[in-house]
Every structure is written in structure tokens, then in C-alpha cells.
Structure 1
Amino acid sequence: MMTTKFKNAVLDDQALITNLKLINPAWGDLTARVAGEAFAMPLIDQKTKTLITIVIDQMALNVNGAGNPFGAHVDMALKQGATYEEIEELIIFASVYTGFNKGAATMGALNELRHERGGI
């Protein structure tokens, strides 16, 4: 479990910024700055924001394949103190609103991530 809480889940995570810039330096810089500004907004805490990103991935069915952000969003949530169990419950809850097929794909992608990382 990752529990390195950052004040800003994007701007304070140099590994995330480096990985974004590896996709394309200009795109990564823009993405980090814009997402970092959104994450800097004060009313919703960082952990909640990272969990929201996972729901958005599920809603858009953007959980596997080249360039998908799901793994990075799971990492962000874990670093903000979320657990795999909380993410699983989130996926189940969101399935009611996004559709169960999207929930199945998202849960499957989470299971693959956990397996790859030795978390199962």
C-alpha cells in the first residue's frame, strides 16, 4: 500500500510528472500544470479527488489499453491513503450509475494492477 500523501496529488508527485512528460514533454507539462491547478482547488480533499478520477475512468471506460490513465489514478489514490478495498467499493458503487459492464471492466483492470504489483 502506498501512503505518501502529497499536498497536491499531481504537482508534488515528481514520478507522475516524469511519466506524463515521457508520453510527450510538452503534453506532459501542460497536463501536469492544468491537472495540478484543478487538484489545488481547496474545497475537496486530495483523496476524494483521486477517487473521483477513478470513477471518471470507469464512466469513460478508460481503464486499459495504451495511454489510459487508470493505473496512474489508482497510484494517486493509494498515495493519498485510499486502500484497494475502498477502490473496489467505489467501483461497485459507481457501477450502479455507469453500468455494470463498465464496472466489470474497471474491476478487472484493478485486479490486473494488483496482481502485477503483488497486491493479491
Structure 2
Amino acid sequence: MDPGPASAADAYDQGARVRREVLGDGPAESADAVTGDFHDFVTRYAWGGVWARPGLDRRSRSLVTLTALTAGGHLDDLAAHTRAALRNGLTPEEIEETLLHTAVYCGVPAASAAFSVARRVISEESGPGAAGA
């Protein structure tokens, strides 16, 4: 159930909090005169709106996000969201199964590229051998 409209400041603050919880405290992309409105939009609507909704848990949102990023070929974002998926409780095996499943629906080349990114990230986060490295 939608809790109703929140103030713009509340949506931004909630989005910034959710983003930090999901992606960690790593450096956020810096906003400037050209990208400031875009970063504000993403913080309010993607993080403060969609990721903050109660309908799916963060593990499920990570599964969907990994699939969507694979389908779109967004490998830079896939690396960050693979880290987030681990933080959200997915195991390396669940990430592998997710990417294997994407091969059927998104294509083998897309899944192959995603596996390369995921293998690197999981190795960095979990140590060598964690992703079959």
C-alpha cells in the first residue's frame, strides 16, 4: 500500500539512505551543473520511490535488477549491483543461477558478459575461488 505523498525533502533523504544501504558508502557519482537534476531524480524516484516500496524485499529487487542490467548490457551498473546483491543477502550461487537464467531470456552474449563482471566482483568481495575463479 502506498503510504501517500511524501515531501520532496523526505523522498530525497529516504532515497539517499536506501542507496547507501544497498550500494554501501562507496563514492557516489558527483552531481554537477549538468547532472545535478538527474542525480536528484534518481535519488528521489529510483531509491526513495521504487527501492523503498514494501512490495518486494531487497533480495528480490536485486534479482530483478541483475536481470534488467544484463538485458540492457549495463555492465558498469551490473558490477555495483552485484556487490549490492551480495550485501542484500544473495549468495554467489544465487547470482550464478540468476545470470544463467538470463541467458535463456536475454541472450547468451549478454549473460556471458554479465558472468565476467559478476565473477570479478564476487572474487573481489569474497576472495579468490568464491566465484569459480
Q: Tell whether the structures are fold-level matches, with TM greater than 0.5.
A: yes
Q: Find the aligned partners of 1:10 and 1:91 in 2 and give their Cα distance.
A: 28
Ranges in structure 1 where 5+ consecutive residues have no aligned partner: 1-7
* Bigger RCO (CA 8 Å, 6+ sep): 1
Q: Find the aligned partners of 2:92 and 2:69 in 1 and give their Cα distance.
A: 16
Are residue 39 (structure 1) and residue 45 (structure 2) matched?
Answer: no
Equivalences for 1:1-120 in 2 at 5 Å?
Answer: 11-12=17-18, 13=20, 16=24, 19-22=27-30, 24=31, 26=36, 27-36=38-47, 37-63=49-75, 68-117=76-125, 118-120=127-129
* Contact 2:59/2:90, CA 8 A, preserved across alignment: yes
Q: What TM-score do you get using the length of structure 2 for normalisation? A: 0.68
Number of residue pairs the alignment of both structures matches: 108
Structure number, greater radius of gyration: 2
Deviations 1:50-92 (A, max 9, x none): 11111011101111xxxx2112211221111111110000000
Give 1:98 deviation, angstroms.
Answer: 0.3
- Give the RMSD, CA atoms, in angstroms: 2.5
Q: Find the aligned partners of 1:9 and 1:94 in 2 and give their Cα distance.
A: 28
Query: Bigger shift: 97-106 or 71-80?
Result: 71-80
Name the residue aligned to 1:5. Answer: none
